[in-house]
Amino acid sequence: MPSSKSSEFEPHTSDQTLFQRDLSQKQNNISSKIKETNSIPASSETMLGNYQKQELIEEDNLKEMGYKNTPNVKSQGLNTKDAWNITLLVILYLLQGIPIGLAFGSIPFLLKSKLTYGELGIFSLASYPYSLKLLWSPIVDATFSKKIGRRKSWIIPIQLFMGVVFFWLGNNIDDMLTRRAPNVYVLTIIFFSLIFFSATQDVAVDGWALTLLSKDNLSYASTAQTIGINTGYFLSFTVFLAFNSEDFSNKYFRSEPSEYGILSLKDYLIFWSFMYFVITAYLIFWQSEENVQSHEDEMGVKSTYQTIWNICKMPHMRKFIAVLLVSKIGFIANEAVTALKLLEKGFSKEDLALSVMIDFPFQIIFGYYAAKWSSGPQPLKPWLYAFYGRLLFAVVGMLVVISFPVDGVVSTSYFVLIITTTVLSSFASTVQFVSISAFFTTIADPVIGGTYMTLLATFSNFGGTWPRFFVLEAVDKFTDATCSVKNNLGEVIDCASEHGKNICTELNGQCNINQDGYYVVSVVTVVLGTLLLFTFIRPQIKVLQQLSPSKWSLKNVSRHSD
């Protein structure tokens, strides 16, 4: 294993976890949609909006996770048409994963050497649309051109827009990132727009998957989605950063060393801009779309939003939503900042990429067993146990950072320690995710199951998104660092920010950290999370999981309304 050395690149691995959780959550949501479209009266189907249509997941997987009343959706074999349509879905999902991998991973890596944690917090706002697409997905369902096609009406213009932006960005990104102080607000707006349109396309592709494939092969939609988005994400994150690294390129692909990687961000963006144009041209000229008439066409945007509001009006639902919004505060600092601090201290991005690759298969294995543990009468019991574990590993994360080798050389034993804590923390996170997903499925009203599941998933995802901005800002606010030398005016130089560190270095000074905001914020969030756990979260969870599924039915709204 190579020794680590100081690196200017910083990861945004917490966003990777968030993205993977959202991706898996969407796969679980479709189980309710399958139940709706196969087991409810036609009159009830008019309550459904297309935004409820999430990816399909195989029946066997649903049974393993404790899902009930799932119809037989096993494939009877792939015909040529379905095989090609599955390939098309993989490509469309892959194109969605490309900007997600950049915004959630690579760009924060490349920006950290010039931005503060607070400025990275501002950039993290660009990821919000992916967790909040439920807010405008009913509009995507209700507005379309019959001449173009229900889904193509959105996919074609979105991909043309993405292609244009990628081409423009490719020709300007070097100038934007090589500035001494990159304009984080401009970058945030650009990537916020890319993620917004990628999330919007996700809604359209999700719906198209259910009509693009034959009934016998609908279960392949989740496979296409998983392969496509994950491939796009890792191409833009792990693979791009590896080939963009001069160390990696020189070690494995060059006989003569160079100061640049073999793949620049400019070339990467321009390549994918052309891919957007090529796939869009295929959709326009060669791919037809059947205008399938369904009860969903009778559903108006206003009625859809009214259904969402009616769900939120139930008193116990309000309490559950509150739990979802605050449940991740206790370990958000560990997930958002710990890896950044390790790289700041000298942990290399190559070792980080290796740790991510090692952790990924463990998440799949853990998900399988977590599903079995969450299939009993108390699906949230494993969730509570995992909560304790995540709080514990938030403390362990601080200890790992504190114990980083002073000389910056990462030994094999220390690397194994990082891998172990990463895998165990991932295990606790996976158990919580699968457990809460199983509970969502248990309480979802089957008449509007898709709406129910998507709404709960939105609040669950947002509970891990909204604190990040404040945590990253707080790390900067509570960091006190001064340069060992003064400036030309005899003033003390604050080197808590990257800009201050650069000035200190130019003056041949050393930045002395008097107080590291990471430790302050980590302690505060762990303490706050522990207090919330024992005073609010655990008592509410124990009550809520004992409620009969009928108590969560939408028919109870009228009797519980204010």
pLDDT tens, residue by residue, 382-441: 899 999 999 999 999 999 999 999 887 888 899 999 999 988 988 888 888 888 888 887
For residue 57, what are the CA distances in angstroms to 38, 63, 93, 225, 499?
Answer: 15, 10, 16, 10, 48
pLDDT at 73 over 80: no
Query: How far is residue 2 from each of residues 58, 256, 411, measured CA to CA in Å?
Result: 41, 20, 9
Distance CA 94, CA 107 (A): 18
Contact (CB, 8 A) for 238 and 74: no
Cα separations in angstroms, 166 against 95, 161, 428, 476: 12, 9, 37, 32
pLDDT at 356 over 50: yes
Number of other residues whose CB lies within 10 A of the CB of residue 84: 13
Q: What are the counts of helices (DSSP H) followed by strands (DSSP E) for the chain?
A: 26, 2
Residues facing 145 on adjacent strands: 149
Which tokens sit at 158?
């979105």
Concatenated DSSP letters for 186-230? HHHHHHHHHHHHHHHHHHHHHHHHHHHS-GGGTTHHHHHHHHHHH
- CA distance readout (Å), 370 to 54, 69, 325, 511: 22, 21, 22, 45
Average pLDDT over residues 362-382: 72
pLDDT tens digits, one per residue of 418-432: 999 988 988 888 888
Supply the mean pLDDT for the chain. Answer: 79
The burial class, CB within 10 Å (0-12 / 13-18 / 19+), for 523 is middle
The answer to whether residues 513 and 525 touch, using CB atoms and an 8 Å cutoff, is no
* Backbone region of residue 258 per phi and psi (left: phi > 0; alpha: psi in -120 to 50; beta: other values): beta
On the question of a common fold for 75-290 and 307-466+518-562, the answer reads yes
| Residues 458 and 324: beta-carbon distance below 8 Å | no
**What CA–CA distances, in Å, run from 110 to 245, 341, 418?**
11, 15, 23
* Segment among 9-23, 112-126, 131-145, 520-534 with least mean pLDDT: 9-23
Q: Find the mean pLDDT for residues 144-162.
A: 90
Return the domain boundaries, the chain: 75-290, 307-466+518-562, 480-515
Rounded to whole angstroms, what are the CA distances from 193 to 106, 128, 244, 464, 467?
Answer: 17, 10, 24, 21, 21
Average pLDDT over residues 68-96: 73
**Which option is the CATH number for 307-466+518-562: 1.10.3210, 1.20.140, 1.20.1250, 3.90.1690?**
1.20.1250
- Provide CATH code, domain 75-290: 1.20.1250.20
Q: pLDDT higher for 214 or 56?
A: 214
Pairing type for strands 480-483 and 511-515 reads antiparallel
Give the lowest-confidence range in 67-76, 109-118, 329-338, 551-560: 67-76
pLDDT range class, residue 70, cuts 50, 70, 90: very low
Q: How many Å apart are CA 343 and CA 6, to the nearest integer? A: 7
d(CA 272, CA 240): 12
Higher pLDDT, 365 or 140: 140
End-to-end CA distance of the chain: 62
For the stretch 278-296, pLDDT in tens is 999 999 998 877 766 554 4
**DSSP letter at 489?**
T
- Distance separating alpha carbons of residues 11 and 239, to the nearest angstrom: 14
Task: Count CA within 13 A, CB hemisphere, residue 154.
Answer: 25
